[in-house]
Structure 1
Amino acid sequence: MNSSTTLWEYRLQSEDAGQKYLSILKHKFHFSLKVLQHLKEGERVWVDGHFTYLTARGKEGEVLSLQLFAEEETTIEGEDLPLNILYEDDYLLAVNKPVGQVVHPNHRYPCQTLGNAVVGYWQGRGEHRLYRPIHRIDRNTSGVVIIAKNQFSHQQLAWQLERGHIHKRYVGFVQGLLRENSGTIASPIGFAANSFIKRQIRDNGEPARTNYRVLHRYAGVSFLEFTLETGRTHQIRVHCESLGHPLLGDDLYGGDTTLIGRQALHSSVYAFLHPATGLPLVIRAPFPADLKDLLKALKP
């Protein structure tokens, strides 16, 4: 088994007896039909070390083993770039994305992206994988980004994300002093008029909910924690502007750039269930240097 292959194993319990392996994987572990089809076509399913069919029925105590994926070629060019790894195992990679770096290559940013860095890191270890980020954060937002290392992990984490089982926490500095210590902003978001970049509150926009809590109040600045119930583009930035308290440094949404030249927003915590073990996993990203400098500059 090569370095780009992961073996997933499960010992059948009493409630699994008589069930088809296909049914166990689909209903108990939420395997997608696409992943199951790939397993079937690749003959990558074994029971107690012997090849089996997904339609066969299981017995209590059997060990079901799956070779989750083989090598996969990517069209992203690998580059030797710095990569701040927070966590890594056979199923996922968590990194602390720096300010100014785009998550995925595009026509405006074809290189020097997080995708180029991750692919280059894998290639340096002799691994060939597709780049599968679970979510994206803005170029000038720092913090946690999770990358699935195989199709199974991507499908499992996407399933959690769609159902609100992944908890994302951000911290940011906004202009002014909020009266309330906590609250929820539930305003729909859509494109601003005549713009393909800027968003705004719109009655016909997509539903969006942001919860916030004041962590500290400085002179004219509030330090907030945000938890998201939805994941719209620029959600925190737009919702903060709608409160009349834009993020410091966020010139697109009216933020003052005197103390910092980018939106003072950081993806600090990403909590979810591990795609293979089902156990809780919490990824935390420390502050980057510019936010540490901002803290020093703020007056009590």
Structure 2
Amino acid sequence: MLKDDLWEYTLQIQDQGKKYQDILARKFHFSRNLLQKLKQGERAWVNEEFTYLSTRGKAGDILALQLQMDEPPNIPGEHLPLDILFEDDFLLIANKPPGQVVHPTPRYPTGTLGNAVVGYWNLKGTPHPFRPVHRIDRNTSGIVVIAKNRFAHQQLAYQLEHKLIHKYYIGMVHGHVQEKRGVIDLPIGLVPGSFIQHNISPDGLPALTRYQVLARYPQATLIKFSLETGRTHQIRVHCQALGHPLIGDDLYGGERLLMHRQALHSFLYAFNHPATGEWVIFRAPWPQDLIDLVAKLKGQ
């Protein structure tokens, strides 16, 4: 559907007589806000002629949209190290190191992944706002998916909301998890009086984590986690509830003798590319501290 920087769609028989905006909304899940942006300026063509999205189409029409919009950055850019796993006109997939915050906050106003990404784009002369599709904790490493325009962000947000994005983490927990695989389905809420810590709470939001044991060591278990929901600290809280907290996660019952952060890494994301619809898979290599942890555990 991509051609010369334009997104294209050839109307089918079932599209006959329907407004272009209705086709985009119903078939491709374009949000109302995005459609409104596309109506501002000449951004839509049919058979290479400008059209209004309120026009009714016919089968065989080739609808083309200019989805790239000039937008200034929304946070300051900084020249920082940046590990890019993939980039095209719609996406940037970054491998975030442990210890780095995804987006600036009052506590961490600079040095974030967002500052690094915006600084990289500024250096290339292609500025964009920083639009992460999801976030991971400061001391969790691995994949962060970043949308480069409104369309990509809206499309991926739709997939995320409808559980169409597959997210996998690896983590090292204390002790031996006996079951080879399992499901943790426990609601999570904020601990009363805390701005950070979460716990299992009957009044919390639904949270479901699937897990599979990958390897066992004398004092630990390596686990692959699959998230059905995306609650704050979900894997960390669920591991504590399982009785096997993540190594290094002292906020949720883990010890920091072997690792000075939670042993958790976002290693695989899979979804439909927002522009082409192609199924894409991105993997992040293990960070060195997790590799070192495995070596320590094997030597025990």
Matches within 5 A, 1:58-69: 58-69=57-68
1:114 match: 113
Counterpart Cα distance in 2 of 1:299 and 1:92? 38
TM-score, with structure 1 as normaliser:
0.96
Other structure's SS at 1:146 match = strand
**Greater alpha carbon shift after TM alignment, 121-130 vs 137-146:** 121-130
**Greater alpha carbon shift after TM alignment, 174-183 vs 191-200:** 191-200
Matches within 5 A, 1:83-162: 83-162=82-161
Read off the aligned partner of 1:209 and give its amino acid letter.
Answer: L
CA RMSD of aligned residues (A): 1.3
Counterpart Cα distance in 2 of 1:264 and 1:275? 31
Displacement of 1:59 in angstroms is: 2.7
1:231 match: 230
Query: What residue ranges of structure 2 are gaps of 5+ in the alignment?
Result: none
Other structure's SS at 1:269 match = strand
Counterpart Cα distance in 1 of 2:246 and 2:5? 42
Displacement of 1:17 in angstroms is: 2.7
TM-score, with structure 2 as normaliser:
0.96
Displacement of 1:57 in angstroms is: 2.0
Query: What residue ranges of structure 1 are gaps of 5+ in the alignment?
Result: none
Displacement of 1:16 in angstroms is: 2.3
1:30 match: 29
Displacement of 1:6 in angstroms is: 4.6
Determine if the alignment matches structure 1 residue 217 to structure 2 residue 216. yes
Matches within 5 A, 1:1-300: 6-299=5-298
Counterpart Cα distance in 1 of 2:116 and 2:39? 33
Other structure's SS at 1:128 match = coil
Read off the aligned partner of 1:200 and give its amino acid letter.
Answer: N
Q: For residues 83-107 of structure 1, give each alpha carbon's deviation from its aligned partner in whole angstroms, at most 9, with x where no partner exists.
A: 1111111111101000000000010
Read off the aligned partner of 1:244 and give its amino acid letter.
Answer: G
Read off the aligned partner of 2:213 and give its amino acid letter.
Answer: V
Cα pair distance change 1:6/1:154, threshold 3 Å: farther
Counterpart Cα distance in 2 of 1:92 and 1:9? 18
Give yes or no for contact 1:13–1:60 (8 Å, CA) kept in 2: yes
Counterpart Cα distance in 1 of 2:213 and 2:204? 27
Read off the aligned partner of 1:230 and give its amino acid letter.
Answer: T
How many residues in Structure 1 have an aligned counterpart in Structure 2? 296
Other structure's SS at 1:55 match = coil
Displacement of 1:261 in angstroms is: 0.4
Identical columns (%): 60
Q: For residues 274-298 of structure 1, give each alpha carbon's deviation from its aligned partner in whole angstroms, at most 9, with x where no partner exists.
A: 1111111111101011011111111
**Greater alpha carbon shift after TM alignment, 161-170 vs 38-47:** 38-47
Other structure's SS at 1:169 match = strand
Give yes or no for contact 2:85–2:95 (8 Å, CA) kept in 1: yes
Give yes or no for contact 1:71–1:127 (8 Å, CA) kept in 2: no
Counterpart Cα distance in 1 of 2:240 and 2:34? 42
Counterpart Cα distance in 1 of 2:41 and 2:101? 35
Counterpart Cα distance in 1 of 2:41 and 2:232? 38
Counterpart Cα distance in 1 of 2:142 and 2:253? 22
Counterpart Cα distance in 1 of 2:82 and 2:48? 38
Other structure's SS at 2:280 match = strand
Give yes or no for contact 2:74–2:130 (8 Å, CA) kept in 1: no
